[in-house]
Structures are given as structure tokens and as C-alpha cells.
Structure 1
Amino acid sequence: MEQISGKLKPTRVRYGMLALIFVNVAINYLDRANLSVAAPALSKDLNLSTVELGLIFSAFGWAYAALQIPGGLLADRIGPRVLYAVCLITWSLATMGQGFVRGFASLFSLRLATGTFEAPSYPINNRVVTSWFPDNERASAIAMYVSGQFIGLAFLAPVLGTVQVYFGWKGLFIGTGLVGVVWGIIWYFLYRDPVDHPRVNTAELDYIEKGGGVIRAKTSTKAQATVWNWANLKQIFSNRTLWGVYIGQFSMNATLYFFLTWFPTYLVKYRGMGFIKTGYLSSIPFLAACAGLLISGFLSDKYVRQGTSVSVARKTPIIIGLLLSISIIGANYTDEPAMIIFFMSLAFFGIGMALISWVFVSILSPKNLIGLTGGVFNLMGNLASIVVPIVVGYLVKGGDFKPALIFIAAFGLIGACSYIFLVGKIERPMTALADSSEGKLVS
């Protein structure tokens, strides 16, 4: 092995694992957003009202949000290699099934199934990054894998729009589902945890562990049995700082799920743009969000390395991003396509900046409760995936989209205020284990 000055040079296997997570996230969001691309034609073919369409948009969120805590349990107890492969293949099969639906009930049910099987994905992502990356690289790593949702959709949105035109919405669902099935098999053969990977050396393992990475994420049998004690749940739900982060996550997801659900319909039905043109124009805000995310992640880590307090380095980009997201309301005051896309892109750039928020799960959770904390965090944030599509469906049923954009913009202010006034000093708590015999929390 290569050595420098008598010392073993650390390998960089962690970046390969990050690349795998990036692809997982891209496919994950492709299967969330394909319905939004199909919606204008699908709603016409199936004779769906805006209220029914809003309910179908929300169906994914009902299952996904409800199963975040169980998903965190699975992430803590089952290795990412097996669990992610199973999730990828099952949610992709549910996606393929959407190409054969004939009405509201069957489509709603399959969207529920997609949300169910995707539920463990982000707790797994967080576990992988917490295992493979030290603290001073973690925001950058999170920014890189979360960017998969934006880069994938930005570059594939025109492709999806073209598939929609030539193969219809049925072909769109079947094709995107097939991609996920194939990748699930590839993931299983390529991914390993740090201590199990054949190409990682001890120098890289030491670098990760000394920097705060949890390379031995597997807990003992006794710890696994007690992680889900009520005392641990109480600890997670009673922390004011975490509540500030939860509210902030709900707020940024409100805008995110507008783009993942109603945005293409807004451009086609309410702004009169064609399917292919919409595919290209809708990619611009996703690229802007990706830019915001990467800038935020790398700057945040840079400030941490320079000695800036964790609170300032992690919170500042999120607060600025949430305030920028309010600019979505500007689209209400112009009819120019270029200006509409500008305001949408600026708002989504802000949300991209704010989406490094997953770093707080790694920072604030006790080391043995990372899956639980990640599950609760994603549960609270993804309640927006239920609320926003339904409320927007009701707000636009009269044919006016302006109230819906005001509704979305309000969450930017709410989220910024939450980080300013509720989220205090950022620090990792002591490891907590619940004693199963006495039901007490001990450190």
C-alpha cells in the first residue's frame, strides 16, 4: 500500500460510497417526481379534478411520513446494503405498476406503496454518511448526495417530458421503474459498510473515526432492543433545538414538494406552456437548487474547518436560504415566462441552501439513536408532502394559482424564524441508552 513519510496513506473509498448514495437519491426523486410530469396528461385521461390530483400527489407522503420512524428502526437494525436493495427494487416495482392504472383508486394505492417502500431511504442515507464521513466533511457529503435529487431531475426533466410525448404517461412510469429495479441489484453488489469494505485501509478508518464518524454503526443486541424505549422517544421529542429543526424542515419541504408535484402542472395549465418546453424550463429551478445546495454545503464545512462555531457555520446558510425562498411570490406579478422561471429558480436556490439541514441529525442525535432521530426528523419534514399538495389542490380549483404561491412563500418566513428563535447552541448530546429493565435513560 502507498505510504507517505512512513505513514499509510488513507484510501478514499468513502467517495465511492457517496457516489452510490447520489445515484440512489436521483432514482428516489425520479420516482417521486415522475407523477408531476405525467399529471397534465394523466389527469385528463383519467378525468381527475384538481382536488383528486392533489390527493394523489399527497398519497406518497401519507405512507412516507407515517413510516419514517419504523424506517429509522430498520436503518438501525438492518445493514444499508440489504435494506436499500430491497427498498429500491420494491418501490420501483410499485412505480412500474402505475403505468397500468385505470382510475383514482389504483393510482392512489400505488403511490401509497411507493411512499411505503421509499420510507427508510433517507434514514439509511444519513446512517451511511455518518458511518463513512468525519464531522468536518459531513455537510459537504450531505450536499453531494442530496444534490442527486436536483441534478437527476434537472437533466432528466427534458427526457421525461420527451418520453411523455412519444410514449405517454404509461411508458414514463414503466421506464423509470425499470431503471430502479436494475440499480437495486447493482447497489447490492457494490456497497459495503466501512469495516466490511475490502478496499478501505486502516488509515482511512482511523481518519473517519477520529473525525467523529461512526464506523461501527451496528449496535449490540441489547442496545437494539432498547433503542425504541419510550424514554428515548421522549428525549427526541422533548428537545427544543430539535423542534426548531423539525419546523424548519417542514417549511423547506413545503416549497420542495410544490416543485415535485404541482410545478409542471402550473407551467402547463396555468401558464400555457407545452410539455416539451415545460420539461426544459422546469429543469432550470432544479439546477438552481443544486447550486444552492452545493455552495451551502461546501461553505459550511469550510467555516467549520476555519474555526467558526458550528451554530453559525451550519445555521446561517439555512436561514438565508429560507428567506430567499419567499421570492417565489414574485411569479404572481409577472406574465413573462423568463421572469416566472427567474423567481421560481431564486426560491428553489434558497431551498437548496437550506437542505444541508440533515447535518443536524448527525450533530444532535445520540450516537446510538441516529436512525431514530433521522426517522423523526424526516417524519416531521415530510408532513409537508401530505399537506401542501392537498391544500394547493383546493386553492387552485377556482383557476387562480396566486393564493397557492402565497401559501408556499409563507413557509419560508416560518422556517427562518424557527431557526432564528428556536434553534439554540448546536452540540452533540451524550450517548443515551434506555435500560430495558427499568425503563430509565442512562448516559
Structure 2
Amino acid sequence: MVSQQVGEAENATPRATGKRHRLLAMLFVTVVITYLDRSNLSIAATAIGRQLALTPTQLGLVFSAFGWSYALLQIPGGMLVDRTRPRLMMAAIVGLWSLATILQGFAGAFIALLSLRVLLGVLEAPAYPTLNRVVTTWFPDSERARAIAIYTSGQYVGLAFLTPLLVLTQERFGWHGVFVLTGLVGVVWAFVWYALYRDPSDAQGINQQELDAIRAGGGLVELGEAGNANAARRRYTASDWRAVLGNRKLWGVYVGQIAVTSTLWFFLTWFPTYLVKYRHMDFLKAGFMAAVPFLAAFVGILVSGLLSDWMIRRGASATVARKVPIVSGLLLSTAIVGANYVETPSMVIVFMAIAFFGSGFASITWVLVSSMAKKELLGLTGGMFNLMGNLSSICVPIVIGLLVKGDDFAPALVFMSAVGVVGALSYLFVVGRIERIE
């Protein structure tokens, strides 16, 4: 009788809800939209270059213009994230950058297009620091790499499946339609985000057991609680800046992130042009074949996140569990140089897919910000991390534009491979042990 009553009491205890897992769908969609608005230019670039008579150097400048403002505003954007709630922040910036995207469809000159890409970078700057704050608030340490892998995969799977759609849109409505379509999707999503997102302590459908589980596992639930709102608005001190700028481990992560994002920015900018102009593929065929490396990257990041968290659960240290996928992925990304030594389109795509799989496999790096940053400096550290990583969005398009001579694209791929080697060495010899900075 007593044992029956104990069993009934245990059954009466409510289980933890799974609100955080459903939240991942929102983060995933947000990342898909973010990267559609960054990469739509790569789809339209050939037609734009022809209509506006752009040289390869000018095209490289337009490709990089987003990165100028996006990278430079990462620290101010990260500081803003430490002082605002994700619900309002994300809705506002998604809506505004989507309007800037629509306007790009009406740009009639080089300067106008360049300026609108700069504006897009300004408005997207707080996006990833905001997403990182959300996942650090909602997920315990043992689930964070997987969560980051799932929402980050949106940058690959969205482009893999939607690149052919954008190609068909351009065929039907011209390059202007590509920007109008992607911009309208973002405007709608801004309203959806504001209507649905809440911090953990304010969310509907979450119980105390889930909040306790997140908190006990290292999730910083308190970042979303109203009682800490004023603390988040304090001024940064010299000690705060030293924690972000003067730490050797973080500098190793920063350099490594430049390498990880360099491969991504090649695919977001020059890749379709490389296939059409330098590998002489038909535009429609190139659009569909370009989806293959993005699918490979999608698989890479999902496998990486699952593997890393599995290693944590099996007792591996955070250092081993996080570094193994990142270093392995960076080394795989160097396979991009193999495209210089093959002639058939299918083999070119094979080497590109291997390289982009590696880039995806290495792309759980945001988990290091969650694991290493001082708790009260998540936004500032995330901003610095994203600033350094997105220096590649400035440099890679321009460097490639300068390295390409005539029909010879080979030096650009050698450069991309070398960057991957540098990133792997940074993680191996500079980052050291992964632990929170106190």
C-alpha cells in the first residue's frame, strides 16, 4: 500500500516540458531568412554585373559591402544585446533589414547597390549575438552545441533548398524579383517573431521543472528575468574590455572563426559566379548544382553538434568535445583546392561539397562563446567574436576579386585552402583549455 502511494506521488510529479526544443524552430527560420538576405546577391550577381556593367573588382566590393558595416558594428550590436530583450530586438532588426533588402531590387547604379548592402550589414549586426543570448538562456550546457548546430544549419539548408527557387524567380521576374521576394518573407517573419517569442521566465507552456533543469545544467535563465534588467544596463568597465580583448584563449577562437567563416563567405558570394563564369556552366544548371555543397554543409553541422554533445555526455572534456569537430572541419575545408585539378562539373562539385561539409562540421563555434564568455558579457564577447569572424566577409570577396586574373580562378582557391590551415593551427596551439572566463 505504501509503495503504491509513493508510486502515485511520483507519477503526480509533473515532468519537465520541452518548450526549448520547440523554440529551435523559430531560431532556425530566423537564420534561414538572415542568410537568404545575405546571399541573394550571389544569385543575382551575374545579371546585375551585366546590367550595371560592373568589373570583377567592383563586384568584389559589392559582395564585401555587407561585411564592412556588419563586422564593424558587432561590438556596438553586442553591447545593445546586453541591454535589450530578444523579443523586441530581433523583430525590429529583421523588419528593417528586410525593407533594405526590398530596396536593393530597385537599385539602378553601383553606388546605390553598394550603399544598400552596407545598410543591410548595419541592421543585421545584432542578429547572431541575439541568437546566442537566446540559446544560452534557454539551453543547458549538455544541449547547447546541438541547439546551436540545429539553428545554424538554417544558413545551409535554407540556401540548399531555396537557391533553386531564387534561380527560378530570377528567370521569371528578373534579378529585381529575387530581392523583393526575400525581403517580403523577412517582413512577415518580424511580426511572427514578436508575436511568439518570450524569455524563459515569461514563456507560456513552460513549467518550473523545465526552468530548473535548464538552470541546473548551466543555462542562464536569469538573463531573461526582469530582476536582472537593470544590472544588464550597467556601464562596461576596463576590466570587462580586458576580459574580451586581452584573453589569449579568446584570441585563438577569434582567429579560428575568421577561418571558419572564410569558406562560408566564398560560397555566399563568388561560388555561383565561379560556376557560371569560370567553369562555364549553364545558369539554371549551376543554380541547382550549387545546392549540393550547401546540403553537405547542413549535414556537417548537424553531425558536428550531435557528436560534440554526445562526447560531453560520454564524459569527454569540453576541450576535446568542442575542438575535435572544429579542427577536423577546418582541415576538411582545405579540400576546396582540389577543384583546381579536375575538369568535369561533377568533380568540381565533389571537392566543393567536401570543403563545405568541413566548414559546416566546424561551425559549432558559437558554443565556445556560450562556454567561455563571462556571464554578464555574453553580448559583448559575442559581438567581438562575430566582428573578428566576419572580417572574412570584408576580405574574402575583395581578395578573390583581386586574385582572379582573366579566366584563372585557381589562386583564389589556393588562398581559401591556406586560410583553413591557419584556423586549425589556431585552435590546436592558441585556444588551450575551454573554460568560462571568471
With the length of structure 1 as denominator, give the TM-score of the two structures: 0.95
Counterpart pick for 1:331 among 339, 349, 353: 339
CA contact (8 A) 1:134 1:207 kept: yes
Partner of 1:192: 198
**CA deviation after TM superposition for structure 1 residue 3, in Å:** 8.9
> Are residues 1:293 and 2:288 paired?
no
Partner of 1:134: 140
Counterpart pick for 2:59 among 53, 56, 63: 53
CA contact (8 A) 1:3 1:9 kept: no
Question: Are residues 223 and 152 of structure 1, via their aligned partners in 2, closer, same or farther at CA, if it must alter by over 3 Å?
Answer: closer
**CA deviation after TM superposition for structure 1 residue 197, in Å:** 0.4
Matches within 5 A, 1:210-289: 210-218=216-224, 219-226=228-235, 228-289=236-297
Counterpart pick for 1:321 among 324, 329, 332: 329
> Are residues 1:344 and 2:344 paired?
no
Matches within 5 A, 1:382-401: 382-401=390-409
> Residues 359-414 of structure 1: CA distance to partner in whole angstroms, max 9, x if unpaired?
00011001111111100000000000000000111111433100000011111100
Deviates more, 1:215-224 or 1:244-253: 215-224
Question: Are residues 3 and 152 of structure 1, via their aligned partners in 2, closer, same or farther at CA, if it must alter by over 3 Å?
Answer: farther
> Are residues 1:162 and 2:162 paired?
no
> Residues 99-132 of structure 1: CA distance to partner in whole angstroms, max 9, x if unpaired?
1011110000000011110000000010000000
CA contact (8 A) 1:50 1:397 kept: no
Partner of 1:43: 49
Alignment size in residue pairs: 428
Q: CA RMSD in A?
A: 1.2
CA contact (8 A) 2:299 2:357 kept: yes
Give, in whole Å, the separation in 2 of the partners of 1:266 and 1:32: 18
Matches within 5 A, 1:294-443: 294-430=302-438
- DSSP 3-state at the match of 1:422: helix
Give, in whole Å, the separation in 1 of the partners of 2:161 and 2:202: 34
Which stretches in structure 1 are left out of the alignment for 5+ residues? Answer: 431-443
Give, in whole Å, the separation in 2 of the partners of 1:194 and 1:272: 51
Matches within 5 A, 1:20-99: 20-99=26-105
Give, in whole Å, the separation in 2 of the partners of 1:131 and 1:387: 33
Which stretches in structure 2 are left out of the alignment for 5+ residues? Answer: 1-7
Q: What percent identity do the matched residue pairs reach? A: 56
> Residues 155-213 of structure 1: CA distance to partner in whole angstroms, max 9, x if unpaired?
00110111111111001111110000011111100100000002110000000000000
Give, in whole Å, the separation in 1 of the partners of 2:238 and 2:191: 37
Give, in whole Å, the separation in 2 of the partners of 1:230 and 1:31: 36
Give, in whole Å, the separation in 2 of the partners of 1:221 and 1:189: 24
Give, in whole Å, the separation in 2 of the partners of 1:362 and 1:322: 21
With the length of structure 2 as denominator, give the TM-score of the two structures: 0.96
Give, in whole Å, the separation in 2 of the partners of 1:312 and 1:306: 12
> Residues 49-72 of structure 1: CA distance to partner in whole angstroms, max 9, x if unpaired?
000000000000001001101111
CA contact (8 A) 2:243 2:437 kept: no
